Amino acid sequence: MDLLHALFSDYTLRTVALGAALLGIVGGSLGSYAVLRGQSLIGDAVAHAALPGIAGAFLLTGQMDPLVLMLGAAATGLCAALFVDGTARSTRVPYDSALALMLASFFGLGLVLLTYLQRHAGASQAGLDAFLFGQAAALVMYDVYVMAALGGTALIVMLLFWKELKLLSFDAAFARSVGLPVRVLNGLLTTLLVVAIVIGLQTVGVVLMSAVLIAPAAAARQWTDRLGIMVALAAGIGAATGVTGALISASVRNVPTGPTIVLCMGAVVIASLLLAPQRGVLWRSWQRRFSQAETPSHPPDQNARTPNVATDPTDL
Amino acid sequence: MSPQVEVQLVAAVTAVACALPGAFLVLRRMAMMSDAITHAILPGIVVGFFLTESLGSPLLLVGAALTGLLTVALVESIERTGLVREDAAIGIVFPILFSIGVILIARYAGDVHLDLDAVLLGELAFAPFNRLELFGSDLGPRALWVMGTVLLLNAAFLFTFYKELKLATFDPVLAAALGFMPGVLHYALMGMVSITAVSAFDAVGAILVVALMVGPPATAYLLTDRLDVMIGLSAALGVANALIGYAAAAWLDASIAGSMATVAGLLFGLAFLLAPERGLVAQQMQQRTNTARFAEQMLAAYLCHPQTRPLTPEAAPKRLYERFGWSAQKTDAVLEYMCERGTLTRRNGAFACTEHGESLAAHAMPLSSPP
C-alpha cells in the first residue's frame, strides 16, 4: 500500500512510472508490427545507431535538451534502418548480417564522436553510461512530456494508417497490387519504430531497448489472432510491466529500473508461451493428454494426429 | 615492442580470430547471434567473477562460454515451440540475460572493480598494460596470447571440419541425410563464437567483436563466390580493418574500438559501391550494357527482316519512334553504338546490318531467318 501511495505522492517514482508506462504503450503497440514482419531486431540496430546522432547533435548545438538529442538520435537511427533495408534488398548479404554490421559500425562511429568530444570539448563520461544502460531515475517531467508528445504522435499516425499498415504487414504483395505505395509505407513504419526507440533510450538504454519492442508484442501474440487486440494487449502489457518494474526497482535497493522492467516483460513472455490458450506449450500438452484420455475405447491409431493445433502458429 | 605496435597486433589477431567463425555466421544467417552472445555472456562473467574474484581467471572464460551456449540453447528451445520467430526469440533472450547481469552487478558488485563499459566497449589502448609473465619474464600482452590461442583453436576447428561445415552451411538437409549431424556442428560453431567473443571482450569489447565477426565476412561475401576465398578475404580484410581503424583512432585521438567498428562499416560501404560484378556501380553499368545490347538486337532484327523497307538516316527517328517508341536521342545513341561496334553500316544511303549484325539478328529471331 505504501508503494501505491508513493506512486502518487513521490515525484521521482511518479515520473519514472509514467515514463515507463508511456514507453511500454508506444513500444508495445509499434513493436507488434516489427514482430509480425519478422524484423524484431531492427530495434536493437536503431537503438545502437542513435549514439552518433546524440553525440553529433550535442557537437553541433552544444545543447543537452532531450528534444534536440532525440532528433539527432532519430536521424542516425533512421539512416541505419534505411541502410539495412537497402543492403538487404540490393545485395545478397542477408538481412541479419546487414543489421549486425550497421549496429556495430554506427555505434562505433558514435563512440568515436563521443571520445572525440570528451578529449576535445571536455564533455563528461556520464552521458554514455546513461545512454547505454538507461537512467530512469534521472527522468524529469519535461522528459516525460517530450516522450508523450513524440510517442502520442507516433500512435496517432499508426491509427490513421491502420488499414494500410495492417495490409503491409500481412500481405505486402497484395498491398502493392492494389496500388498502395508500399515503399513509402515501409518508410513510415520504420520511422514510427525509430520514434518509439528514441523515446525509450533514456529509460531503458540501448542494449535493452529491443526487448521493450519485442517482448510485449511476442507475449500478446500468443493470446489472440487479431491485430487490433494484439496491439492493444501489447500496449497494456508494456504499460503494466513498465510500471511494475519501476515500482520494484524503487522498493528494492540497488536495482536499476531498465533491467527490472525487462525481467518483468520476460516473465510475461514466458508465462504466455507456456499458458496461452490454444497455443501455449503447457496448454497444448494438456490438451493432448485430455484428448487421449477421452477416447480410451479406440485402439491407438499410429496415424492419428493431435487435433486443434494450428499447423504453423507463427502465421496469423 | 612498443605499446602502439602491440595494440595493433592484438587487434589484427583478434580480427582474424573473429573472421573465421564470422564467415559462417554470415552465410548461415546467424549474424545477430554474435550480438546476442556478446551481450548475454555478461551474467556468466559476473558469476565467474564472484566465484574467482578476479577478472583474469580462466574460469571466467569457461563460465562466459557456457553462458553463450546457454543463450543459443534458450533461443533454439523458444524457437522450436513454433510460437515466435527466431529473431524475436533472440531479441527476448539476450536482454533478459543481460538484465540479470546488470542487476547482479548493481546489487552485489557495487564496490568491486567490474566495469560495465569495459565489457561492452573495451579499451584496446589498455591491452599492453596487462602483461603475461611466466617465471618472472615478460612474454608480452596477455590479450595477445589469449587471442592467439583462440585464433589457433578456430583455425584448427575450421581446418578439421571444413568439409562438414561447408556442406551443413549450404545444404543442411543433405548434410543431415549423410549423417554429418548439422545440429552438433551448429553447437560447435556457436561454441567457437562464444569462446571467441568471451576471450575478446576485455581487450576489444562486445561491439567490436560484432563488427569484426560480421563486417569483413559480409564485405568478402560481395567479392567472391567461393567459400575458401571468402574466408581468406575475410581474414585479410579483418587485418586491414584493424590497421586502418587504429590509424584513424590515433589521428583523431578517439576510441580505438569505435574507430575500427566504423571502418568495418566503411569498408563494406566501399565494396557495396565498387565490388566487381556485385557492386552498385558495376550493376548499373551492366544494366546499361544490357539495355544497349537489347536495343542493338532489336534494330538488327528489324533491319534484316525481308519486309523492312530501306531505313534512311532522315527517316530513322520517325520510323523507329513508331516501331519501338524510341526518342530521337535514343535512336541516335543506338545508331552510333551499333556503328561503333561494327554491327551497322551505311549502304546506298540507307542503314544496313554488317555480317556481325546479321548474325545478331539471326540470334534474336531464329525463326525469321531464311532456311
Q: How many CB atoms lie within 10 A of CB A200?
A: 30
Phi and psi torsions of B132, nearest 5°: -100, 120
Mean pLDDT of B51-73: 81
Q: What is the ipTM of this complex?
A: 0.86
Using the 8-state DSSP alphabet, how is residue B132 labeled? E
Please compute, for residue B183, the number of CA atoms within 13 A of its CA located in the half-sphere on the CB side. 5
| Residue spans per domain, chain B | 3-213, 291-362
CB A242 within 8 A of CB A193: no
Nearest Cα of chain B lies from the Cα of A98 at a distance, in angstroms, of 8
Query: Is the CB of A115 inside 8 Å of chain B's CB atoms?
Result: yes
Q: Using one digit for the tens of pLDDT, what is the confidence trace for B270-304?
A: 999 998 888 889 989 999 999 999 988 888 888 88
Tell me, what's the pLDDT at B367?
Answer: 61
**Separation CA A19–CA A24 (nearest Å):** 8
Q: Which of B36, B33, B99 is nearest to A208 (CA)?
A: B99
Q: Using one digit for the tens of pLDDT, what is the confidence trace for B339-354?
A: 888 888 888 888 888 8
**Separation CA A79–CA A53 (nearest Å):** 10
Residue with cell 581468406: B232
Are A35 and B84 within 8 A, CB to CB? yes
Nearest-CA residue of chain A relative to B25?
Answer: A97
Which fold, B291-362? Arc Repressor Mutant, subunit A (1.10.10)
- Residue B359 C-alpha cell reads as 548474325
CA dihedral B6, B7, B10, B16 (to 10 degrees): -120
CATH class of B3-213: mainly alpha
Query: Is the CB of A35 inside 8 Å of chain B's CB atoms?
Result: yes
Q: State the count of interchain CB pairs (< 8 A) between A and B.
A: 223
In terms of average pLDDT, the best of A134-138, A228-232, B331-335, B361-365 is A228-232
Number of helical (H) and strand (E) elements in chain A, helices listed first: 13, 0
Query: Is the CB of A46 inside 8 Å of chain B's CB atoms?
Result: no
Please compute, for residue B332, the number of CA atoms within 13 A of its CA located in the half-sphere on the CB side. 3
Please compute, for residue A206, the number of CA atoms within 13 A of its CA located in the half-sphere on the CB side. 28
Are B31 and A101 within 8 A, CB to CB? yes
Q: Do B3-213 and B291-362 come out as alike in CATH topology?
A: no
CA dihedral A235, A238, A243, A244 (to 10 degrees): 130
Query: Is the CB of A40 inside 8 Å of chain B's CB atoms?
Result: yes
**Separation CA A15–CA B236 (nearest Å):** 51
How far is residue A118 CA from its own chain's centroid?
Answer: 31
Question: Would you say residue B248 has pLDDT above 90?
Answer: yes
CB A108 within 8 A of CB B260: yes
Helix locations, A62-133, DSSP H: 66-90, 95-121, 126-133
Task: Look at A129-143, B138-152, B238-252, B290-304 and tell me which has the smallest mean pLDDT.
Answer: A129-143
Are A100 and B31 within 8 A, CB to CB? yes
The pLDDT profile of chain A, 316 residues, written as one tens digit per residue, is 566 676 677 778 888 889 999 999 999 999 999 999 888 899 899 999 999 998 888 888 877 777 888 889 999 999 999 999 999 988 899 999 999 999 999 999 998 988 888 777 655 555 666 677 777 777 888 888 888 999 999 999 999 999 999 998 888 889 999 988 988 998 999 999 999 998 888 888 888 888 999 999 999 999 998 999 999 999 999 999 999 998 898 888 778 888 899 999 999 999 999 988 888 888 888 888 888 776 655 554 444 444 444 444 454 4
- Residue B246 C-alpha cell reads as 587504429
* Chain A residues with beta carbon closer than 8 angstroms to that of B84: 35, 218, 221, 273, 314
- Residue B281 C-alpha cell reads as 556501380
Tell me, what's the pLDDT at A304?
Answer: 45
Phi and psi torsions of B19, nearest 5°: -65, -30
Which amino acid would we find at residue A15? T
* Chain B residues with beta carbon closer than 8 angstroms to that of A41: 32, 87, 90-91
Query: Is the CB of A117 inside 8 Å of chain B's CB atoms?
Result: no
Q: How many CB atoms lie within 10 A of CB B284?
A: 10
* Chain B residues with beta carbon closer than 8 angstroms to that of A103: 35, 210
What residues of chain A, 229 to 258, have a C-beta less than 8 Å from chain B? 253-256, 258
Helix locations, B253-327, DSSP H: 256-274, 280-304, 316-324
Q: Using one digit for the tens of pLDDT, what is the confidence trace for B86-137?
A: 889 999 999 999 999 888 888 876 655 556 666 666 677 777 777 777 777 7
**Separation CA B137–CA A69 (nearest Å):** 50
- Residue B316 C-alpha cell reads as 530513322
DSSP string of A9-62, one letter each residue: H-HHHHHHHHHHHHHHHHHHHHHHHHHHTT-TTHHHHHHHHHHHHHHHHHHHH-
What residues of chain A, 80 to 109, have a C-beta less than 8 Å from chain B? 87, 90-109
Query: Is the CB of A136 inside 8 Å of chain B's CB atoms?
Result: no
- The pLDDT confidence band at residue B269, using thresholds 50, 70 and 90, is very high
Mean residue pLDDT of chain B comes to: 86
Tell me, what's the pLDDT at B219?
Answer: 96
Are A255 and B107 within 8 A, CB to CB? yes
CA dihedral B16, B22, B27, B28 (to 10 degrees): 150
Tell me, what's the pLDDT at A306?
Answer: 45
**Widest pairwise Cα distance in chain B:** 96
pTM for the predicted model, two decimal places: 0.86
Residue with cell 512530456: A145
Tell me, what's the pLDDT at A310?
Answer: 43
